Structure 1
Amino acid sequence: MRLVLKSIAVLAIAGVAVFWWVTRPITSDASILAGLEPDLAQGALVFHAGGCASCHAAEGAEGDARLEMAGGRSFPSDFGTFYAPNISPDPDYGIGRWSGIDFYNALHHGVSPEGQHYYPAFPYTSYVRATPEDIVSLHAFMMTLPATDAPNRRHDIGFPFSIRRNLGAWKWLFHDPEWVLDGDLSEEERRGRYLAEALGHCGECHTSRNALGGLDYARWMAGAPNPTGSGNIPNVTPAKFDWSVSDTVEYFTSGFTPEYDTAGGHMVDVIENLSQLSVDDRHAIALYLKRILPVE
């Protein structure tokens, strides 16, 4: 019996050690950004393509108000309600004290400057595909935006999801930096893939999730339940989305559909972001949508 108890104790200690290792926050060293100079114009493009204002600006904000990253919007999910944080340059309530590598680790690894895992309501599972150059430029652009001292609100998350250490195991399962669309792509299609899969994080809404909240890559962009509980986010694979490239570009520009309807819901914010991109970039995203796997 004593031998059995000792064996159980050893296995328990080993299990805890493995869990602690797997769930540790992983970060990159500052050397990964060495020699990179920010480009503010590129940073502005990344800001719009990445949809920062869609989550961190006040709901309904227009014009310059969309550059005030005070946070506060609520995002309900099956795991609780998440609240967008203040990411303005304020040194106390925002990200004003963050270094370039702090910013990189947040977007690339989903880890805070304090070494805590971020919840994947922050789409670092897509931003992990962004280049270090774009992240450096985005950080520099963010530091030019208005600072606001709006306090952050704690997420309303119940046990066991409130234990952030568990997110390390979630990342081990689902934080995948590989491209979803692979194969022989033209330069413009690769640009569309980068805008859609990395910066635009389109799949975070248009792809269904499993019971643990991981994206179901076998049904990439094939639609998903709306997290608000109202309706569904549509299937935009070629199996259902049959708009022409020019019609899609027009939708990304003005919000008007080929049926003379207009974008609604959260897509209004997305159109506002996409309309800030060049016509070439909107065209590249439209081409990307034609190349992804059709899923019924």
Structure 2
Amino acid sequence: MKRLALGLGVAAIAGAGLAFVLTAPRPVAAERLEAIAATGGDAAAGETMFWAGGCASCHAAPGAEGDAKLVLSGGVKLKSDFGTFIAPNISPDPQAGIGEWSISDFANAMLAGVSPDGSHYYPAFPYGSYTRMTDGDIADLFAFMKTLPESKVASLPHEIGFPFNIRRSLGGWKLLFFTDQPRVQLASDDPQIKRGQYLVEGPGHCGECHTPRNPIGGFVSNAWLSGAQNPEGEGVIPNLTPGGKSISSWSTSDIAYYLESGFTPDFDSVGGSMVDVQKNMAKLKSDDRDAIAAYLKALPERPNGWE
């Protein structure tokens, strides 16, 4: 019995050690960080990524409009089954925001979900999508964000209870669900569709709302963009694939015009949380909106993900 107990103890210690190693945060490789830093970054190009990535939608103060949306003081609350996440201040303020971050700090956050202090970020910050962004777009976005106004508003802590407040456990979540691979494999090599795929699956992070999730927050396999229950209230987030009724009858020009104007082919108008998204999309070049539309029409059909 003593030998059995000893063996079980050793196995438990070994298992705990292995789990500790496997769940460790994994920053971006040093060589890639050096390459990102070497690009220098173009703030003008970075503005496109800022709007494509919806940065202001979460990180501007709740209800901000106009120029106030460029003051990234944080405070928006994102409700979920795991608690309420509160977007932090990411303005260039050196104390309250990210003014003291290096480009490597920023790249690690965006591409690996790792904070400057080496801990995991919660995936409410959609690094699971941002990880698909190119080195140049990361550098450009960082350059643009450094031009924005500073805010001294302190970030609020997330309202997360046990066991979800154990950040180390996110390493296990990343092992299961975190990947930089395409969300769908498309047969087409059309550059327009490829651009749309990049914008939707990467900076646009559309799947974060439009894809159903399993009980531990990972995307449901083979249900990409098929719609989901609204995590912040009643109703559903629409199915964007040709298999749903939401936009299946829309043409590519209908989709592109909706993203530009907020009006559907039936002259209804955008509503709910999509209002902010549409306002962001309206700031993109028309070619990018056309590319997003082309990608959505090229998706495989999926049944509604919430059913």
Q: TM-score, normalised by structure 1?
A: 0.98
Code of the aligned partner of 1:289? L
Structure 2 distance, partners of 1:20, 1:39, is: 39
Name whichever of 281-290 and 210-219 sits farther off.
210-219
Shift of 1:63: 1.4
Aligned length, in residue pairs: 296
What residue identity is the alignment partner of 2:291? A
Aligned-pair distance for 1:246? Answer: 0.8
Unaligned runs of 5+ in 2: none
Distance in 1 (CA, whole Å) between partners of 2:159 and 2:9 is 36
What is the alpha-carbon distance in structure 2 between the residues aligned to residue 34 and residue 260 of structure 1?
46
Whether contact under 8 Å (1:58, 1:70) holds in the other structure is yes
Correspondence for 2:38: 35
| 156-165 or 236-245: bigger deviation | 236-245
User: Where does residue 163 of structure 1 map in the other structure?
Assistant: 166
Q: Residue 228 of structure 2 corresponds to which residue in structure 1?
A: 224
Secondary structure of the 1:64 match is: helix
Say which of 281, 286, 294 aligns to 1:279.
286
Q: For 1:212, which of 203, 209, 216 is the aligned residue?
A: 216
Q: Which amino acid aligns with 2:260?
A: T
Deviations 1:84-110 (A, max 9, x none): 000000111100000000000000010
Alignment match of 1:96 (pick from 96, 99, 102): 99
Looking at structure 1, the residues matched to 70 and 234 of structure 2 have their Cα atoms a distance apart, in angstroms, of 28
CA distance in 2, matches of 1:33, 1:11: 42
The one of 115, 118, 134 equivalent to 2:118 is 115
CA contact (8 A) 1:179 1:197 kept: yes
1:127/1:198 contact within 8 Å kept: yes
Partner of 1:22: 22
Worse-superposed segment, 17-26 or 1-10: 1-10
Q: Give deviations 1:52-106, integer Å, cap 9, x for gaps.
A: 0111112332211110100001010000000000000011110000000000000
Moved more, 242-251 or 278-287: 242-251
Structure 1 stretch displaced more, 30-39 or 5-14: 30-39
1:261 corresponds to 2:268: yes
CA contact (8 A) 2:228 2:238 kept: yes
SS of 1:161's equivalent in the other structure is coil
CA distance in 2, matches of 1:254, 1:187: 25
Alignment of 1:76 with 2:74, yes or no, is no
* 1:31 shift after superposition: 2.4
User: Equivalent residue for 2:200?
Assistant: 196
Deviation at 1:35, TM superposition (A): 2.3
For structure 1, which runs of at least 5 residues remain unmatched after alignment?
none
Select the residue among 138, 142, 147 that pairs with 1:139: 142
Q: Is the 8 A contact 2:37 2:103 kept in 1?
A: no
Alignment-derived partner of residue 3 in structure 1: 3
Cα distance in 2, alignment partners of residues 81 and 35 from structure 1: 37
CA contact (8 A) 1:180 1:217 kept: no
Matching residue of 1:179: 182
Partner of 1:239: 243
Measure, in 2, the Cα distance between the counterparts of 1:49 and 1:115. Answer: 27
CA contact (8 A) 1:207 1:217 kept: no
Structure 1: distance between partners of 2:221 and 2:200: 14
Deviations for 1:18-47, whole angstroms, at most 9, x for unmatched residues?
101111010022324252121111100000
Q: Deviations over 1:238-293 (max 9, x none)?
A: 01222111111110001000111100111110011100101100000000001111
CA RMSD of aligned residues (A): 1.0
Letter in 2 for 1:189: I
- The answer (yes or no) to whether the contact 1:89–1:142 under 8 Å persists in 2 is yes
Inter-partner Cα distance in structure 2 for 1:234 and 1:170: 26
Contact 1:253 1:271 in 2 (8 A): yes
State the alpha-carbon separation in 1 of the partners of residues 111 and 35 from structure 2. 12
